[in-house]
């Protein structure tokens, strides 16, 4: 468990699972402890003591380092990824743990006859609790106010209560402001009013209009006193409930540990003879090859390949290699056929075999691979607020777009590793190409693209994510249906099954149309095989999934939903809702967006030609 530091020799403020620190409660996230509300400190305020657990994954390190270099940042070569610090309750120390900053700094008195809004430095402290000495009674406990101010750049600040209460009345000022926060029975914004003793007041609902709010000051409290920066685009503060799901969207990238590719093998060989090769040039390399150490390491590589590797080693910018998911897809597609009695070695981090399911491959599937051992490394590279981040088809984020940093002076990133099992499915490539060329499918693609454009109509073109394409909608929707179907018999809840989509754009040279459904556990030896064994009966589970997708409890409303003409502003979904396709967000890569079951199976009121499995 990762511990949040309180200070001195006192017990820690609280703890969370290490894997949560890389997702929900990373640097810059707001978290509620038992007796306080805080902001998780940046990486500069993490203390490891003597325990620094390094997590190695060269492919992921190279992919992130290359993009960080373009953004003017660096990632160290040795120990680039570290597991969150693990504290010891029996021996608390300030040297180990994650610093937690008290936030927000405004509190509300819980005396119903008072309800005074007071800053933390204006309150007494008794047994770690903030106390307000009310004018109308005895001292009363205060709780942190549940509203803060934020902007899409990740900046975070206390809501400007004094300015907000007096904005229209006195230009945002008051000689002696004394505020109260009065709430109705429902807690709705329309019933919350900020009062001042000078007579000024405003309803909190007015803050929902961005134009009524002050400009963002570029405050980044999780980075310390030096974290202030100018806010790009001169954004205005937005009112945010500090416990809302849109207060923190972590940008997590991950990679499976797969056997080394040629690029990694070359770099390893160069490092073996680095004492000599660090001085290699085009003129001296032929002579260096006469040295036994160099000859043994480089006998299969050309001079040009070696010199490129030497330059990459010196610059710290890794050589180009296959993108993360392309490399993993190639591994799954080249796995040999399963043999009876073949088992993975104890030290294997990746073991997968192609299988022939009982009854043969269902129509529409091209390959089924059972992965009995998987190791996935997840790394947080940044985060956003208000708007959720959207990775590309390789699962990578553009670090130049709305990425709030995790630290100011660190060259490493927090990571966790997951060990488990999974089922990989590849759709029949010929059938995919035929499906993508259908007239009805192309028209549906135009409709989905129109909805996508409406969703991002107010976003500049350089900040707009890429439209994932119809193939992604198909794979993503099928993944959700299969997760629900598998969970009924595999022994794992649907929320424990995680998807990984392998999808290429239609014009890419390398074709990908695959799904990996996996389950795993951080910090253990893995799982028990309940999921992977169900891959042998994929025909049964696919039939169940298509049955689940053919009818929704919200039909015909769900089936007839159009992202292009949606009054509810659900622009990124076709026929999809909580009754059919939505799953736990911890299992979904795209926050339940980009879904349309009409592309998978025939549904009420839609052209049957849309369905990939229309005749399955």
Sorted by sequence, the CB contacts under 8 Å of residue 56 that are 6+ apart come out as 81
Compute the average pLDDT of residues 97-107: 90
Residue 567: how many CB atoms within 10 A of its CB? 5
User: Is the preceding omega at residue 104 within 30 degrees of 0, hence cis?
Assistant: yes
- Comparing 172 with 268, which gets the higher pLDDT? 268
pLDDT of 524 above 70: no
pLDDT digits (tens, 9 = 90+) for 444-492: 999 999 999 998 887 777 677 889 999 999 999 999 999 999 998 888 8
Compute the average pLDDT of residues 515-526: 81
User: Can you give the pLDDT at residue 14?
Assistant: 75
User: Can you give the pLDDT at residue 136?
Assistant: 67
Residue 532: how many CB atoms within 10 A of its CB? 25
User: Can you give the pLDDT at residue 570?
Assistant: 86
The whole-model pTM stands at 0.87
* CA–CA separation, 424 and 541 (whole Å): 14
Q: In the structure, what pLDDT confidence band is assigned to residue 10 with cuts at 50, 70 and 90?
A: low
Residue spans of beta strands (DSSP E) within 80-170: 81-82, 96-102, 106-109, 116-119, 124-126, 129-132, 140-144, 147-150, 156-158
Q: Which helix (H) or strand (E) holds 291?
A: none
Compute the average pLDDT of residues 513-541: 85
User: Can you give the pLDDT at residue 369?
Assistant: 97
115-133 burial: b if 16+ Cβ within 10 Å, else e: bbbbebeebeeeeeebbbe
* CA–CA separation, 140 and 132 (whole Å): 5
* CA–CA separation, 121 and 18 (whole Å): 32
Torsion of CA 375, 393, 591, 22, to 10 degrees: 40
* CA–CA separation, 277 and 289 (whole Å): 10
User: Can you give the pLDDT at residue 582?
Assistant: 95
Q: In the structure, what pLDDT confidence band is assigned to residue 1 with cuts at 50, 70 and 90?
A: low
User: Can you give the pLDDT at residue 283?
Assistant: 86
Q: Which helix (H) or strand (E) holds 119?
A: strand 116-119
User: Can you give the pLDDT at residue 598?
Assistant: 96
Sorted by sequence, the CB contacts under 8 Å of residue 225 that are 6+ apart come out as none
Cβ–Cβ under 8 Å, residues 494 and 483: yes
User: Could you tell me which residues are beta bridge partners of residue 418?
Assistant: 376, 522
Q: In the structure, what pLDDT confidence band is assigned to residue 139 with cuts at 50, 70 and 90?
A: confident
* CA–CA separation, 21 and 250 (whole Å): 10
| Terminal CA-CA length for the chain | 47
- Comparing 279 with 450, which gets the higher pLDDT? 450
* CA–CA separation, 280 and 600 (whole Å): 56
354 CB-contact burial (10 Å; exposed 0-12 / middle 13-18 / buried 19+):
middle
Q: Of the ranges 56-70, 215-229, 255-269, which one carries the lowest mean pLDDT score?
A: 255-269
Share of the chain above pLDDT 70, in %: 93
pLDDT digits (tens, 9 = 90+) for 417-445: 999 999 999 999 999 999 999 999 999 99
User: Can you give the pLDDT at residue 171?
Assistant: 63
Two tokens, residue 122: 């204006």
User: Can you give the pLDDT at residue 285?
Assistant: 85
User: Can you give the pLDDT at residue 61?
Assistant: 92
Strand 116-119 with 140-144, pairing? unpaired
DSSP code at position 608 = G
Q: In the structure, what pLDDT confidence band is assigned to residue 147 with cuts at 50, 70 and 90?
A: very high
Q: In the structure, what pLDDT confidence band is assigned to residue 266 with cuts at 50, 70 and 90?
A: confident
Chain centroid to CA 555: how far? Answer: 31
* CA–CA separation, 521 and 528 (whole Å): 11
* CA–CA separation, 573 and 588 (whole Å): 14
Two tokens, residue 278: 């660090």
Two tokens, residue 183: 């709430």
User: Can you give the pLDDT at residue 243?
Assistant: 87
User: Can you give the pLDDT at residue 248?
Assistant: 93
The mean pLDDT value of the chain amounts to 87
Q: In the structure, what pLDDT confidence band is assigned to residue 295 with cuts at 50, 70 and 90?
A: confident
Compute the average pLDDT of residues 217-235: 89
DSSP code at position 464 = P
Compute the average pLDDT of residues 386-393: 86
* CA–CA separation, 318 and 147 (whole Å): 44
pLDDT of 160 above 70: yes
């Amino acid at each position: 468990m990762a511990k949040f530091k309180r200070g001195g020799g006192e017990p820690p403020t609280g703890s969370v699972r290490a894997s949560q620190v890389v997702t929900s409660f990373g640097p810059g996230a707001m978290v509620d402890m038992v007796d306080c509300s805080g902001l998780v400190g940046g990486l500069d305020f993490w203390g490891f003591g003597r325990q620094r657990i390094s997590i190695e994954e060269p492919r992921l390190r190279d992919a992130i380092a290359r993009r960080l270099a373009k953004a003017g940042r660096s990632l160290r070569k040795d120990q680039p990824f570290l597991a969150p610090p693990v504290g010891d309750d029996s021996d608390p120390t300030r040297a180990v743990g994650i610093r937690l900053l008290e936030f927000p700094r405004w509190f509300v008195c819980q005396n119903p006859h008072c309800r005074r809004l007071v800053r933390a430095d204006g309150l007494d402290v008794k047994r770690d609790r903030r106390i307000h000495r009310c004018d109308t009674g005895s001292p009363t406990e205060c709780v942190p106010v549940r509203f803060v101010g934020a902007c899409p750049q990740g900046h975070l600040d206390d809501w400007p209560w004094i300015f907000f209460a007096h904005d229209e009345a006195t230009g945002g000022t008051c000689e002696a402001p004394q505020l109260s926060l009065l709430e109705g029975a429902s807690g709705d914004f329309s019933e919350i009013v900020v009062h001042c003793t000078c007579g000024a007041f405003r309803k909190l609902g007015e803050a929902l209009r961005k134009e009524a709010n002050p400009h963002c000051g570029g405050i980044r409290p999780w980075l310390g006193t030096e974290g202030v920066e100018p806010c790009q685009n001169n954004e205005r503060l937005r009112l945010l409930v500090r416990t809302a799901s849109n207060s923190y969207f972590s940008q997590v990238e991950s990679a499976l540990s797969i056997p080394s590719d040629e690029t990694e093998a070359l770099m390893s060989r160069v490092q073996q003879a680095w004492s000599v090769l660090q001085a290699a040039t085009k003129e001296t390399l032929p002579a260096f090859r006469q040295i036994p150490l160099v000859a043994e390491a480089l006998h299969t590589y050309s001079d040009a390949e070696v010199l490129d590797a030497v330059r990459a080693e010196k610059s710290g910018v890794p050589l180009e290699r296959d993108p993360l998911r392309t490399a993993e897809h190639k591994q799954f597609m080249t796995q040999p056929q399963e043999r009876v009695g073949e088992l993975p070695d104890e030290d294997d981090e990746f073991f997968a075999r192609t299988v022939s399911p009982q009854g043969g491959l269902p129509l529409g599937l091209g390959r089924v691979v059972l992965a009995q051992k998987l190791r996935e490394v997840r790394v947080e590279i940044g985060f956003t607020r208000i708007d959720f981040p959207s990775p590309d088809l390789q699962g990578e984020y553009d670090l130049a777009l709305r990425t709030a940093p995790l630290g100011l002076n660190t060259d490493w990133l927090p990571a966790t590793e997951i060990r488990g099992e999974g089922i990989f499915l590849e759709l029949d490539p010929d059938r995919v190409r035929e499906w993508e060329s259908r007239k009805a499918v192309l028209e549906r693609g135009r409709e989905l693209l129109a909805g996508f454009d409406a969703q991002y109509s107010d976003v500049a073109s350089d900040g707009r994510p890429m439209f994932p394409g119809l193939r992604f909608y198909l794979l993503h929707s099928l993944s959700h249906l299969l997760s629900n179907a598998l969970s009924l018999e595999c022994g794992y809840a649907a929320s424990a099954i995680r998807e990984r989509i392998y999808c290429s754009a239609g014009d890419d040279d390398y074709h990908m149309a695959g799904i990996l459904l996996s389950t795993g556990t951080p910090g253990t030896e893995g799982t028990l095989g309940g999921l992977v064994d169900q891959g042998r009966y994929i025909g049964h589970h696919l039939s169940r999934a298509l049955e689940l997708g053919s009818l929704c409890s919200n039909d015909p409303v769900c089936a007839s939903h159009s992202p292009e003409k949606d009054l509810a502003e659900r622009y990124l979904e076709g026929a999809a809702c909580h009754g059919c396709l939505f799953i736990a967000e911890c299992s979904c890569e795209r926050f339940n967006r980009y879904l349309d079951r009409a592309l998978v199976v025939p549904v009420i009121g839609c052209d049957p030609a849309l369905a990939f499995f229309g005749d399955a």
